[in-house]
Amino acid sequence: MVDLKALTASVGELDEEKVLEVLNGFVASNPSEEDAQKVVAACQSGMAIVGDLYEKGEYFVGDLIFAGELLTNAINTLKPVLGSGSTASAGSIVLGTVAGDLHDIGKNIFKSMCEAAGFTVYDLGIDQPASAFIDKIKEVKPKVVGMSGVLTLALEAMKDTVDAIKEAGLRDSVKIIIGGNPVTKEACAQIGADAFTTNAAEGVKICQGWVK
């Protein structure tokens, strides 16, 4: 089994070569899905270190972007052993960063992890108006709608989007999860979403609970 602490440290140090070397070795050892989940968690803990170093001013935005790409590569490397068990889709998710917000690192990490868990993800992209979410919901009839945002103003855009989904008569057919730095329990209630998360792995678990 992989040394999880060392893996976390390597992710925190943005040592992509080391991380992928460890992960490729791990995948080749025919691990259990449970072990694979632990390895994903270790990689995410490394991302938390990156976030802390960014807040302390030791890492910069470029490092955050690189870390997001590193984690996406890590998840893609692990996909074969993250067991989608069956090839049937776990359900579909419409995902996007709300209007006025151009951040996509968190959204992309969540997307990779949802896909690894067997969901079909329709990614609208960044800075998406409510109408884009509504059009996609009508088109693909997802079980879950995910809204992402990092800026405080994203909370207002999330509320506008949820209100628009209600007005379109689509609210009862979907579960809505919001994610990003500014989201809190209070904001979630105010926005009218079903759940909130600031952690991609937790977000995936919530979505899995909804589609069972």
Contacts of 15 (CB under 8 A, 6+ apart): none
**pTM value?**
0.67
Q: 17-26, 76-85, 193-202 — which is least confidently predicted?
A: 76-85
Residue 87 has pLDDT above 60, yes or no: no
Q: Is the pLDDT of residue 70 over 60?
A: yes
What local confidence, expressed as pLDDT, does residue 116 receive? 66
- CATH homologous superfamily of 4-82 equals Methionine synthase domain (1.10.1240.10)
Sketch the domain layout of the chain as residue ranges: 4-82, 92-210
Asked if 4-82 and 92-210 have one fold, the answer is no
Look at residue 86 and tell me whether its pLDDT is greater than 50: no
Mean pLDDT value of segment 54-74: 83
Q: What is the mean pLDDT of residues 112-132?
A: 89
**What pLDDT shows up at residue 88?**
57
Give the whole-number percent of the chain exceeding pLDDT 70. 96
| CATH architecture for segment(s) 92-210 | 3-Layer(aba) Sandwich (3.40)
